[in-house]
Structure 1
Amino acid sequence: MTQEAFGRKAGFSASHVSAVESGTRALTMSFVRGADRALETGGFYERLVTRFGAPSWFRPWLDAERAAIQLCCFHPNLIPGLLQTADYARAVLRLAPRLTDDEVDERVATRLERQGILTQGHPPQLVAVVNETAIRQAGEGCAKVMPEQLLHLHRCAERPNISVHVVPSSAGLHAGLSGPLLLARMADNSWAGHLENQLGGTGADRPEDLDTLLERWESIRNEALPSRQSLALIEEVANSWI
């Protein structure tokens, strides 16, 4: 089946199909459902994605993340997923008691695959902000995991499209203590947001909600150390683990 014939049955242009196949356009659930229609699978691909892909609440953010030209992320207690090592991601995911070892391994692999957007031909600009807690906090058996994670974070921040900032403990109370937030700016300058919680996460696309998140982001960013000072602190903490 040609791209044009497939697209006609799926409800997409041939150029859209080509862009998805080449990885320059995000694979969305609407495209997956279109593939089911075009190939008359009875919904097989949608069931497959639902079972083995990202959780349904996270898929809209993944679409935004892949299409973004700029990403802004803040987490008060953890290194952001796009900058995690495999061992650190595994340690974090194992905190969920119901996940089996195989499920943890699958999620680690998915997380590492997501990081490919940062090294692609035209990567987004990533600005990551974490509390000092995130670079100092570790669990039992993390004596090796944390220094490797912090050195990896330092190396990532040396790339031209990535900057990492730390909110020092001395900042005290600030807007970010309410929880993590993610923001993505698209090529048309529109924004998408995502918030995580104990049960999963939720997207934010209403203009008033995005305005609030952008205000919170700017407030958090203003509390953070400049890049050079942040990297010096990260290096200092990494050395303390060695």
Structure 2
Amino acid sequence: MTSPVSTAELIRDQLRRSRLAAGLSQEEYGKRAHYSASMVSAVELGQVVPNHAYLSRADEVLGTGGLLVSLRELGRREGEPVWFRPWLEAERAATQLRCFGATMIPGLLQTADYARAVFRLDLGLTAERVEELVSARLERQVILDREHPPQLTAVIDESALHRFAEGCAGVMAGQLRHLVACARRPHISVHVLPQGVGLHAGLFGPFILGRSADGSWVGFLDNQTGGTAVDDINEVATLLGRWESLRSDALPRQQSIGLIEEIVKPWI
């Protein structure tokens, strides 16, 4: 029995077939698409995951009628774990988002390198699957760049900011610099829950809440093997209560930014 072909493999195969059908070498195609031959080669070999701009340009140059972009959208959905998809629909429609990061930076604020390092902790994932998940995570963050983005407020336990160690210090430094840049955006507010707080409501675990245009709230709970979307009115009320407790214990916005900058300073 043959193994199923991933969407990423289909995209690479279609890119190569379409380029050859057009009678173009990698270098010739690169010149027309405004990419280097080494970039074209890396994409076709699976060493680089092509983004929307790359595939949109490929559709234009190769005359594939939007096929490659459509395959990427399919691949993005494939990259999202099935258990996460119900929450993603609510997240994309939310006008306000509130998230608590207990042990790591929330997904909406992660860099590609940080997300990649986190996914690699799961030894059951292939390198290709890791890249699919990283791409899906970055696609998820697109909602923050919309013309009318949701208002995102994040509370992050300070312990998540100190995970500097040999082999990952550079990744952490890049992540914290990115976090500061995000926190300075008008629609994003980041608050650090200082270590001196002691026991707090966030010890029950990370979560995220989304408020839709009609004023209703839904939540999502993370766990070791997946996650659960929450829409029961009583459970949502519990999460909102815990959120208020965490937010009141966290540092103000500017003080939080200052603390993050102090933490990353020795590593720059």
TM-score (norm 2): 0.71
The runs of 5 or more residues in structure 2 that have no matched partner are 1-70
User: What is the Cα deviation at residue 54 of structure 1?
Assistant: 1.5
Whether contact under 8 Å (2:154, 2:190) holds in the other structure is yes
Whether contact under 8 Å (1:77, 1:137) holds in the other structure is no
Q: Deviations over 1:184-241 (max 9, x none)?
A: 0000000010001011000110100010010011111111000011000000011122
1:17-166 matches, within 5 Å, as 52-166=78-192
Secondary structure at the aligned position of 1:58 is classed as: helix
Q: In structure 1, how many angstroms separate the alpha carbons of the residues matched to 2:149 and 2:179?
A: 17
Q: Which runs of 4+ in 1 moved over 6 A?
A: 48-51
Secondary structure at the aligned position of 2:234 is classed as: helix
CA change 1:51–1:213 in 2 (3 A) is closer
User: What is the Cα deviation at residue 50 of structure 1?
Assistant: 11
Whether contact under 8 Å (1:87, 1:145) holds in the other structure is yes
2:182 equivalent to 1:182: no
CA change 1:237–1:51 in 2 (3 A) is closer
2:265 equivalent to 1:239: yes
Report the count of equivalent residues.
196
Larger Rg: 2
CA change 1:139–1:65 in 2 (3 A) is farther
Q: Deviations over 1:67-96 (max 9, x none)?
A: 000000001110011111111111111111
2:197 equivalent to 1:171: yes
Q: In structure 1, how many angstroms separate the alpha carbons of the residues matched to 2:84 and 2:196?
A: 33
Q: Deviations over 1:147-203 (max 9, x none)?
A: 111010000111110000000000000000110011000000000100010110001
Whether contact under 8 Å (1:50, 1:56) holds in the other structure is no
Q: Residue 196 of structure 1 is aligned with which of 191, 215, 222?
A: 222
Give 2:253's aligned amino acid: S
Whether contact under 8 Å (2:79, 2:133) holds in the other structure is no
User: What is the Cα deviation at residue 146 of structure 1?
Assistant: 1.0
Give 1:127's aligned amino acid: T
CA change 1:185–1:176 in 2 (3 A) is same
Give 1:190's aligned amino acid: S
Secondary structure at the aligned position of 1:160 is classed as: coil
Give 1:147's aligned amino acid: A
RMSD after superposition: 1.6
